[in-house]
A and B are shown apart, each in its own frame.
Chain A
């Protein structure tokens, strides 16, 4: 009897831990997140006939773009054991800069977009410098940057939105269709491409390797002859490019740069990363997970709206989902 129980117990453990290596466990966390995505998806499909339609699915994907872009960059930062709170308002600042470059200075759209993305990189670079060289804890350094970026966005735009009325190509970046006649917004395609590029960078390049190493044990990584300071700066600056891109995507979608927005996006993006199984203590995480996390958030937002659950409840439910996701991660680690 006792042995039977023991056997049952170990096989149950095997089932939960999935077997041999940590890689398998990570995949399990992803599949947990993926399974929840399916469950939530199925639930709303039953709850409302308007949910599982082509136009609504595209709408969900479309609404994932901004959070998703921010979450992708932040994944790198969080894997190093850091955090970036400046991505939300940084995005608003980049949107404003995009307006300045394209509407005020009248740079060609392509050059303007590139400059706005690079400006995001600059924000990240400053974050990286503060964290890696001045050794300010990431939470504080990027909290300060969050305020600075919000303020600058208002100062530069004189607190008024900048409209991209004359730059017709700009709006198409987000809402145009790659294949004429097929209603599938470019923004989603861009997100998909960026996600694939991020996944490759994280898994196949030195940048990704060192991000994981730094997050696992910064001291040991440094003593292994890796210039931790340099690579941290690179990671933050790299994540900054995503801030810039998100700024472009959101302003293209709205047709205007809204300087007073942005606050709150950082938390949604971080939530997406965490739901996707990336550990806030660093050293662990994946792009696939982050994409799933971002999708869970927008499916929830969309489904709750469609089923007419009051707006106020949406954050309550999202908060609950984060708790469940992180708790699942803790249980997984224990076994």
Chain B
């Protein structure tokens, strides 16, 4: 421990220290005797399973919750933030797991919300606001147009807005709670650049992530917590990620589930031809076989989510046909899709997945209520509860009971709840859009196992994911999309990260002759199929 003299900062003192911190919620002990120290000029990764208490610790630091016990020190001085504003004034900025942006306001308005420069007493000066925002964005070298509406931005850009907002407070400590959960590799690299530029002599970053493979690229040290307790802190360079993972889950992860091959003579269950929408999709065609996991890869905005939404009738189809078991079907809305036993898990659990104010049971049961009710419309509550209990156990959803309000669950556990909702219902086709977003490594393995099991039972799965290793590992075949078109279709054994990236950036106007044919010879790289991590930049 570093010693401090009252009122005076010792250069040896860490930037931020947490000691003996505990926090309980009704029925849950989220943190007990937690500690952590962040050195000057470092990026400290904080890892732990879903519900381990990472977000809770960060919310304590930033004054959103109040600790039951323990102490926080900034530059050796104890502090106690009881409101987010206090923490901000001390120089502690946090970017939350779920963004807190206003979609109908511009980038500039979002950055300076509540602190708008005024012209005269009551009028806001839009010009000054934009100028200030432009300055900030330029200083941080963020690729943002400050006058754009936030609702129209990609998730990656929204993430940048959050960063700009956090740093506009002259932050010394920047806390990022799963900033990369929704980003693809290129975007992760850009984010890491921004982080490196931020880290100076007197600043530091706490970086929470479940994407263990990216820690080598960004973190100096890694603090591991488990079940609300401190486990250890290690040097990134001196430690293998395998070790980190086993510290996290308390055992060695061995599972390496891979789907069994699907014979190509399997019955085609779904066939999509010439699907186009007004907004984005152009002539999208593909087939889904019985018992197949069909991966969808592509960059943000490639149109994968749009395909899913069009398939279940959430968005209008302009032209194109959907054939199900050899018959053309019209799917006007998700209710019709559900009748055809097609389920869609959205990438955005907060807005399109969860009833946050309802309990876990209501959420898991939601898609099967109609089936589990009597002719007169009485809900078979006991049966539904039994199902919910079953999935809470099998997916290891961390909650005191199925009566817990869903918004009180940790991010990863909320994601498991949405998964459970679709697993309860007996669908033939499951469309999973970013199914493992925010889910810890151990639970991911379990979900992969589950997907394989479903496929083995003859269910067909469309898996959209920005995590390329996941798509590569879990799919029988991979559809690659770029700007609303299908640009490639790869068999699992020929798919490697480089191939997929090639097709994902293949704009049709650049090479119209390169028709996406199954079995077409893609450029085969020499590199081994395991994805290579973006190396740590030299410019720090």
Contacts and interface: CB of A to CB of B under 8 A. Distances in A.
Interface string B60-98: 000000101100000000000000000000000000000
A224 B27 contact: no
B519 interface: no
A6 B26 contact: no
Nearest to B354: A220
B69 to A, nearest CB: 6
Contact of B369 (A6, A23, A206, A227): A206
A306 B351 CA distance: 51
Contacts of B373: 205-206
Given A224-B366, A226-B367, 16 more contacts: A6-B69, A10-B24, A20-B400, A21-B403, A22-B403, A22-B405, A205-B379, A206-B369, A206-B377, A219-B351, A222-B335, A223-B314, A223-B346, A224-B421, A226-B369, A230-B335
Interface stretch (B319-327, B356-364, B445-453): B356-364
B355 A20 contact: no
A213 interface: yes
Contact of B333 (A9, A19, A209, A222): A222
B378 A204 contact: yes
Interface string B375-390: 0111101000000000
A14 interface: yes
B337 interface: yes
Interface residues of A, number: 35
Contacts of A209: 362, 369, 379
Which of A216, A224, A283, A284 has the most B CB atoms < 10 Å from its CB?
A: A224
B52 interface: no
A191 to B, nearest CB: 23
A255 B78 CA distance: 75
A225 B340 CA distance: 10
Contacts of A204: 378-379, 381
18 contacts: A9-B66, A21-B401, A21-B405, A23-B359, A204-B378, A205-B379, A206-B377, A213-B355, A216-B355, A219-B351, A220-B354, A220-B355, A223-B312, A226-B334, A226-B369, A226-B370, A227-B335, A284-B357
B334 A216 contact: no
B379 A21 contact: no
A20 B425 CA distance: 29
B301 interface: no
Contact of A223 (B26, B69, B334, B405): B334
B117 interface: no
A226 B335 contact: yes
A212 to B, nearest CB: 7
B416 to A, nearest CB: 16
A205 B335 contact: no
B403 A23 contact: yes
A30 to B, nearest CB: 17
Contacts of B376: 205
B369 A283 contact: no
A301 interface: no
B376 to A, nearest CB: 8
B353 interface: yes
Contact of B26 (A20, A210, A219, A226): A20
B70 to A, nearest CB: 10
A23 B335 CA distance: 29
A228 B359 CA distance: 20
B343 interface: yes
A223 B349 CA distance: 11
Which of A10, A17, A21, A228 has the most B CB atoms < 10 Å from its CB?
A: A21
A22 B68 contact: no
Contacts of A230: 335
Nearest to B28: A20
A335 to B, nearest CB: 11
A137 to B, nearest CB: 16
B314 A3 contact: no
A225 B353 contact: no
A283 B356 CA distance: 10
Given A22-B357, A213-B355, A213-B362, A222 B377 contact: no
Interface string A215-249: 01101111111111110000000000000000000
- Which 9 A-B pairs have CB atoms at the shortest separation, nearest pair first? A225-B338, A227-B335, A216-B355, A22-B405, A224-B367, A21-B403, A205-B377, A206-B377, A224-B366
Contact of B335 (A206, A225, A284): A225
Contacts of B381: 204
Nearest to B421: A224
Contacts of A210: 369
B352 interface: yes
A199 to B, nearest CB: 13
Contacts of A205: 373, 376-379
Nearest to A214: B355
B344 interface: yes
B32 to A, nearest CB: 15
A20 B354 contact: no
A74 to B, nearest CB: 20
A224 B368 CA distance: 9
B354 A217 contact: yes
Interface string A10-26: 10001001011111000
A212 B356 contact: no
A224 B405 CA distance: 19
Nearest to B372: A206
B337 to A, nearest CB: 7
Contact of B404 (A17, A21, A216): A21
B381 to A, nearest CB: 7
B26 A14 contact: yes
Contacts of B369: 206, 209-210, 226
Nearest to A231: B335
A207 B312 CA distance: 23
A22 B353 CA distance: 20
Interface string B6-37: 00000000000000000010110000000000
Given A205-B378, A212-B362, A226-B370, A283 B355 contact: yes
A9 B24 CA distance: 13
Given A21-B401, A220-B352, A213 B358 contact: yes
Contacts of A216: 355-358
B377 A225 contact: no
